[in-house]
Amino acid sequence: MRTRNKEETQRRIFDAAAAQFSEHGYSGATLDRIADQAGCCKALIIRYFGTKQELYRKVLNSRYAELSQRETFHALSEEDTVYALLRGILRDLFAFNREHPSFARLVSWENLNGAEHLDPKAARAARGPGWSRLQSILEDAKARGMVRADVHVDRLVYALQAVTVVYFSNRHTMKILTGFSFESPRTMQEFVDFYARLFARGIADDGGTEHDA
């Protein structure tokens, strides 16, 4: 029972920390606020997670690791068009961000702070598996003649993730400016299709999407 209570307390602390860091950024969030939301004392947070910076890094790296776990892309290597391949990748990226709305905010805060608090080694270890999987899929597409040989895989992966994070980080202002309901599953799917076609026309070896509308 004691172990279960400890794990439950740690989960509450972690969830509260994720919410506070997402809402207020590293500088604005405090251990007192996190303790209050988690229903525990600050000393318990320090005991389980260490300093505020250590807790923050654990939260951010955990989200990176979860993103990597979601990037399974089942059977994507069997897709016969670049459009279908990119649509599958983007669908997974959008699904993750939809299920973890705090992720885009956390990444935005960290970039605003110049990645000051991110531990490079730990972050690369957390993000590495998914990044490598993406690279492997795209390299396979290049080997199969689907993607142009001069396409830089790392840059494409960056671009795919960039448009996904920006969709969620900017959705409130863009909703006002465009009138689109960015929280709608239909709108998300339309943007997935749009981005897939946009990128496919730029990297496909045949210069297009092979009429796979």
| pLDDT average per 10 residues of sequence, the chain (213 residues) | 76 94 93 95 95 93 83 62 89 89 87 86 84 83 88 86 90 92 93 95 70 45
Q: What is the pTM of this model?
A: 0.81
Task: Write down the pLDDT at residue 211.
Answer: 44
Domains plus CATH for the chain? 2-50 (1.10.10.60), 60-203 (1.10.357.10)
The whole-number pLDDT of residue 193 equals 96
The pLDDT assigned to 38 comes to 95
Residue 85 is which amino acid?
A: L
pLDDT at position 39, please? 94
Interacting residues of 50 by C-beta distance below 8 A, sequence separation 6+: none
pLDDT for residue 125: 87
Cα separation of 191 and 150, whole Å? Answer: 26
Angle at 105 between CA 152 and CA 119, to 5 degrees: 65
Q: What pLDDT is recorded for position 209?
A: 46
pLDDT value at position 154? 84
Residues in Cβ contact with 96 at an 8 Å cutoff, skipping those fewer than 6 apart: 66, 67, 70, 103
* Angle 108-104-128 from CA coordinates, rounded to 5°: 95
